[in-house]
Chain A
Amino acid sequence: MTLSITGLTVTIGDKKILRGVDLDLQEGRVHGLAGESGSGKTMTGLAVLGLLPHGARTGGAIRLGERDLLKLPLKELNQVRGGEVAMVFQDPATSLHPMLSIGRQLTEHMRHHLGLGKREARARAIELLGKVRIPGAAEAYDRYPHQFSGGMRQRIAIAIALACSPKVLIADEPTTALDVTVQAGVLRLLRGLCDDLGLAVLLVTHDLGVMSAVADEVSVMKDGLVVETGERAQVLREPAHPYTRSLLDSLPGESA
């Protein structure tokens, strides 16, 4: 078990955002987290990285190996995030810095976390760009985000997340801002990386189609609680919880 979240609660003000979330991520498996907006999917992802908004109080535990990420001092947490746990955000247009070159953004945390020299970092960055299938990786290194299309930018964001060989990747709606044709490519890439590198991926998405395409296990959230967890085929074909059923029924299907 690479990362296990037990009884996670998040309270902001007097509002309970998460009311006891349990999730287990395993190596080489994609764990999908579904639910409507406001159900706490994104908050769960952010809590793992300690990126919750100011004044948020947490309870429960997020275990990565021996450590509880919620109780780590900031200095040690900074070692973990970006290094062992990485994140890919929804909108690649805003998650990349518009005024820094791709290379700079790819190597900055590598040099910090892995202590690489400039030349080694560059070589690794180019290798990563190749891995996420950016054409002309060596030239792309010196370019800026606006010179890439949306799908390419999201691939670059994935490359940045993978730079320090993380064990856990949290992808928050990684394909929502993309066209369907581009989405297909990014999903294939994510699945491939998960299989090749043995990453544990937490895929947060509202799109049950995306979920069905790449996730091994699926958890469904509602009002800050996980209402159903199980194998993909079981949750999507024979949902046990009425809420999961209503989500599936609300899709514009053949019958509708």
Chain B
Amino acid sequence: MTLEIKDLVVEHRSPGRPIVRAVAGASLTVSPGEVVGLVGESGCGKSTLARAVCGLNPVTEGSITFDGRQVTPLGLRRRQLTGIQMVFQDPYSSLNPRRRVGDQIADGLRTAGDTATKPADLLERVGLPRDFAGRHPHEFSGGQRQRIAIARALAARPSMLIGDEPISALDASAQAQVARLMRDLAVESGAGLLFISHDLSVVRLIADRIAVMYLGKIVEVGRTAEVWADPQHPYTRALLGAIPQPDGLGVLPAELAGDVPDPADPPAGCRFNPRCPQVMDVCRDKEPDFGPVACWLHQPG
């Protein structure tokens, strides 16, 4: 039940505008029971990657396979592949406001062909009272709604759970709670979890491995503790260096110069070269297309 993304390219085409390569050749593997955190600045293609994995965005090139089977675009017809479930960013728009939450969770149970479990059981698993099943989404707070969305995703017995910024619409104090809950539930049921977030401190809390994305490419992958303690790619370093430390010393965090370039017109060579503090000549000509650290400073061999 491994999710394998190989050289994935996703393009957004809109009339009258240049083609935007949101994901430009990204490879990533998520094993069962593993939590992978995907981090990067906004606009780097994290969400597009997640949507492609669920079949919500057509794949331009490359492949996404789950358990050896190709992930096909999601159509209106009943889908064979219900093993991948997604929790969306905004629980205010991802739940149907006109249906009781119990009924929405029951949809997931029906997909999995599960007649024994009741929606209330799932609510209990995400830490909500059983009698909430009869209520409508507007009666809940953001954190509670996201728990319901997680319950709905879990109802389909997924073997891969995707969280597309599931915590960024929540209050600061609810963020860590919901993130931990997702991790615990995924690991408990033996499913993999691809957790996408721009909040590094939360990813660090729950992920086994971290993948750092920049402008459609994954620039560094590694075990969370290792990446955190010893980041290799200059971009990862900049990203981690920008996190202010609560040490009471009043040190202003380092600023990464410049903005993320337009993905419709990426710079030649390494995509990070215009902002990289350690840029070399080779970086401007050739794109580093190796891993786990896609940087000419860390060329393998």
Contact = CB atoms under 8 A, between A and B. Distances in A.
Interface of A: 36-38, 149-151, 176, 179-185, 187-188, 191, 206-216, 232-237, 248, 251-252
B6 to A, nearest CB: 28
A181 B244 contact: no
A183 B41 CA distance: 11
A181 B256 contact: yes
Given A37-B172, A179-B42, A206-B172, A184 B248 contact: no
A213 to B, nearest CB: 4
B15 interface: no
Contacts of B253: 180, 183-184, 187, 213
Given A180-B200, A184-B254, A206-B172, A236 B248 contact: yes
A213 B251 contact: yes
B244 A213 contact: yes
Nearest to A185: B255
Nearest to B275: A181
A215 B245 CA distance: 13
A236 B244 CA distance: 13
Contacts of A237: 247-248
Interface residues of B, number: 31
Chain A to chain B: the 5 pairs with minimum beta-carbon distance, closest first? A236-B248, A209-B244, A208-B246, A213-B244, A206-B172
B205 interface: yes
B246 A212 contact: yes
B250 A180 contact: no
Contacts of A149: 42-43, 259-260
Given A181-B256, A183-B253, A235-B248, 12 more contacts: A176-B172, A182-B41, A184-B255, A187-B252, A191-B252, A207-B172, A208-B246, A209-B246, A214-B250, A214-B252, A233-B250, A248-B246
15 contacts: A38-B173, A149-B43, A151-B259, A176-B172, A179-B42, A181-B255, A181-B256, A183-B244, A184-B242, A206-B173, A209-B246, A212-B247, A213-B251, A232-B250, A251-B201
A209 B204 CA distance: 15
A125 B205 CA distance: 43
Contacts of A179: 41-42, 198
A185 B258 CA distance: 10
A191 B247 CA distance: 17
